[in-house]
Amino acid sequence: MSANVTIAWPSGRGHLLWILSLLTLALAGCRDESPVHNAHFEAFGAPVDLSIVGIKRDEAERVSRLVEGDLRFMTDAWGDPDLGCLGRVNQLLPTARAFAAPPALLPLIRASQDLAERSGHLFNPALGKLNALWGFQAVSTGRRQPPDKASIEALVKAKPLMSDLQVDDILLRTGNAALRLDFGAIQTGYAIDRVIEHLQELGIHNAILTIGGSLRAIGTRSGQPWPVAVRNPSGGGVLGIIQVSGNESVFTAGDYERNFTYKGKTYHHVLDPRTGWPATGARLVTVLHDDATTADAAAHALLIAGPERWYETARALGVRSVLLVDAQGRIHLDPTMARRVELLDRNAEVIEAQPLTPGGASLPGP
């Protein structure tokens, strides 16, 4: 195996290069005869890294262009609640009349409805109006502050849920005027799954696709696992390393991204549908699962669930493994994650839960 090691970074790589050096030294001396092709571009406003192992360079470049095209199409279709297919749907939903849904959007809607129900609606893409109210959909260049409490309370009282969206074959309608779709908490995972399916159809069995730090890997890197760095909740440095291989997704949600500070308090973008305010109790959640769609939705739902409710929510969603850092810096995890993650802080307080089992019963709504 080569000393040229691919690491999936959550975001902001410059301050993490020392980890790359450690891993390179640890893996040096092995020999790797398989070519690795790396491609870099952007989708959903985030950096994309694609590594493909074991195919010729010209073929890898062709495949990379196909992947970039796939992701560009998905970004245009439903990456922005105001644009593309999703923008059209959000314009028509307030009419309360049935209309034909864009074919590119229906599978995402159905997947979101299922995951929302199983999460007890902690994962809730129907909260587009609340997200827009907070301004997390756009990049702000000026001073920001929380919305007024009355506006937040009005949207929470309206209680828009994915189950309010009626799907009849290809027709959509809703009777809840507060419902607006925003797939920010699932679109990355869903897109990664579609791309990995395309790669497998093309006969590619060893690759890793990372969007903004979350990823899905298939196969290995020439017989070796892909090392994935889990970022610290503070946003700087590394909490631990997870080795992934076979067919695994690693998704992280945290309070360190897309936030702003007002009067000394920081507000982040993962909103609790029960209160309308940023979730409290947990600072970071990393989910290890087979498919990226579930892992993405689960990471956001578990951040909202917090240390008290993460375990039952994870079981309801059927996820394989979870790591959660609570507001006090304690690390909660299941036994599988405890075996898989190498924590860099040997003195961290670790709370190990019972094993997670798939197929738990759905939780009641909020």
| Residue-range definition of the domain harbouring residue 97 | 78-174
Residue 283 CA to residue 266 CA, distance in Å, equals 12
- What sign does the dihedral 108-113-114-115 (CA atoms) show? positive
DSSP E strand boundaries for 83-174: 99-100, 165-168, 171-174
Binned at pLDDT 50, 70 and 90, residue 143 comes out as low
Residue 224 CA to residue 245 CA, distance in Å, equals 8
Give which of 256, 262, 258 is closest to 144, Cα–Cα: 262
In a domain, 309, yes or no: yes
CA distances from 203 to 57, 64, 114, 200 (A): 15, 14, 30, 5
pLDDT at 25 over 50: no
Do the beta carbons of residue 283 and residue 230 sit within 8 Å? no
Each residue's pLDDT tens digit, 280-314? 999 999 999 999 999 999 999 999 999 999 999 99
pLDDT at 1 over 60: no
In a domain, 365, yes or no: no
Tally of CB atoms within 10 A around 34? 14
Do the beta carbons of residue 298 and residue 111 sit within 8 Å? no
Each residue's pLDDT tens digit, 221-243? 989 999 999 999 987 789 999 99
Each residue's pLDDT tens digit, 258-276? 888 999 899 999 999 999 9
Indicate the helix (H) or strand (E) that contains 70.
helix 57-78
**CATH classification of the domain holding 99:** 1.10.3980.10
Q: Note whether 60 and 105 are same-domain residues.
A: no
* Structure confidence at residue 258 (pLDDT): 84
pLDDT at 13 over 80: no
DSSP helix/strand/coil, 265: strand
Binned at pLDDT 50, 70 and 90, residue 361 comes out as very low
Each residue's pLDDT tens digit, 59-71? 999 999 999 999 9
Do the beta carbons of residue 215 and residue 197 sit within 8 Å? no
Binned at pLDDT 50, 70 and 90, residue 144 comes out as confident
Residue 355 CA to residue 336 CA, distance in Å, equals 7
Of 134-143, 198-207, 236-245, 251-260, the poorest mean pLDDT is in: 134-143
Taking all residues of the chain, what is their mean pLDDT, rounded to a whole number? 88
pLDDT at 23 over 80: no
| 196: exposed, middle or buried (Cβ count in 10 Å: 0-12, 13-18, 19+) | buried
Residue 139 CA to residue 147 CA, distance in Å, equals 16
In a domain, 57, yes or no: yes
Share of the chain above pLDDT 90, in %: 80
Each residue's pLDDT tens digit, 321-333? 999 999 999 999 9
In a domain, 348, yes or no: yes
Each residue's pLDDT tens digit, 150-195? 999 999 999 999 999 999 999 999 999 999 999 999 999 999 999 9
Amino acid at 13: R
In a domain, 284, yes or no: yes
Q: Note whether 218 and 346 are same-domain residues.
A: yes
135 vs 121: which has the higher pLDDT: 121
Number of domains forming the structure of the chain: 2
pLDDT at 31 over 50: no
In a domain, 182, yes or no: no
* Structure confidence at residue 330 (pLDDT): 97
Indicate the helix (H) or strand (E) that contains 239.
strand 238-244
Amino acid at 31: R
In a domain, 307, yes or no: yes
Q: Round the CA-based radius of gyration of the chain to a whole number and report it.
A: 20
Q: Note whether 153 and 251 are same-domain residues.
A: no
* Structure confidence at residue 138 (pLDDT): 57
What is the rounded (10 degree) CA torsion for 254, 259, 261, 266? -30
